[in-house]
Amino acid sequence: MPQLIDGKKISAKIKDELKETVQKLKDDGVSICLAVIQVGDDPASSIYVNNKKKACAYVGIESLAYELPEETTQRELVDLVEKLNTDDRVNGILVQLPLPGHIDADAVIRAISPDKDVDGFHPESVGRLCIGEEGFVSCTPAGIIQLLKRSGIEIAGKECLVIGRSNIVGKPMSILLLRENGTVTVAHSRTKNLKEVARRADILVAAIGKPKFITSDYIKDGAVVIDVGMHRNAENKLCGDVDFENVKDKVSAITPVPGGVGPMTIAMLMYNCVRAAMK
């Protein structure tokens, strides 16, 4: 059986560490507040927003919820973001994605002050990440680095393959692995001979968005596999981009779905909120 990289346990540990930091900050008179904006009532978004509120309550961060109707205009949303930018009580602003089709998500992300950009999606945060400056890092890839480090997995010098090049997962993931001195390849839908490319990887991160896409013929013996994918099957059970049962005898370590990458995203959001307040 491979090493199971336990995202539930590691994220709980990070939240406990943050809880202590938040208490110390409170003792010094610093309070932390996250504003969470949701437009419309997409059920999946409502679950994510609720989980974020719960994590805030656990860690000791105040959360302000803005639940706006589906027909909210882009101007109204940007006005709210701009108001929160100048509200000294608010340290972090999160706009839950996806937004309704009539709103340009990029324009809304750009409206968030880079000092309060706890999702790490603002172009300034992304630019800082690229040039190695301090800044907010997108929560899912930041969580994956924590999973690797806290599981004792060395990144430096390793062949790392990220499959997927989205702005929120694949691209920042590749930069973070590079920052940790991995030798990084990024694959995408136009990559040729993906199986061959994948079989060179010591660390494989699958962020493809296709259930059970990665089978054992993509895996080098003893590879570490990180499964970012999240899908519900017909029985409403979660599965990832990796066919866990098919690869488990070939890998040295792997994240399960659920209980791997998923819980880390919220833990890193809490981390970014605490950092915002410490600034």
**Which residues contribute to the site for ligand NAP (CB under 6 A)?**
140, 163-166, 168-170, 187-191, 194, 207-210, 228-230, 261-262, 265
Q: How far is the CB of 6 from ligand NAP (least distance, A)?
A: 15
Distance of closest approach, residue 218 Cβ to ligand NAP, in angstroms: 10
Residue tagged active-site, from 6, 15, 38, 96? 96
**Nearer to ligand NAP by C-beta: 19 or 210?**
210
**Closest to ligand NAP by CB, 187 or 201:** 187
Kindly report the backbone phi and psi dihedral angles of residue 242, in degrees, each rounded to the nearest multiple of 5, phi listed first: -110, 140
Q: Check 52, 116, 212, 220 and give the catalytic one.
A: 52
Tokens of 66: 């803005």
Taking the complex as a whole, the smallest distance from the CB of residue 164 to ligand NAP amounts, in Å, to 3
Q: Which residues are within 8 A (CB) of 159 and not within 5 positions of it... i.e. 6 or more apart?
A: 182, 183, 185, 200, 201, 202, 203
Q: Is 96 a catalytic residue?
A: yes
Choose between 84 and 184: whose C-beta lies nearer to ligand NAP. Answer: 184
User: Please, what is the minimum distance in Å from the beta carbon of residue 92 to ligand NAP?
Assistant: 18
Q: How far is Cα 45 from Cα 70, in angstroms, rounded to an integer?
A: 13
Supply the minimum distance, in Å, between the C-beta of residue 206 and ligand NAP: 8
- Is 119 marked active-site? yes
Nearest to ligand NAP of 90, 119 (CB atom): 119
Tokens 């990887």 locate to: 201
Is 103 within 8 Å of 79 (Cβ atoms)? no
Burial per residue of 203-238, b for 16 or more beta-carbon CB atoms within 10 angstroms, e otherwise: bbbbbbeebbbbeeebbbeebbbbbbbbeeeeeeee
Tokens standing for residue 108: 């809304």
- Rounded distance between C-alpha atoms, residue 139 and residue 121, angstroms: 9
- Give the residue closest to ligand NAP by C-beta: 166
Residue whose CB is less far from ligand NAP, 63 or 140 = 140
**Packed helices 262-278 and 7-27: angle between N→C axes, nearest 10 degrees:** 20
Residues with active-site annotation: 52, 96, 119
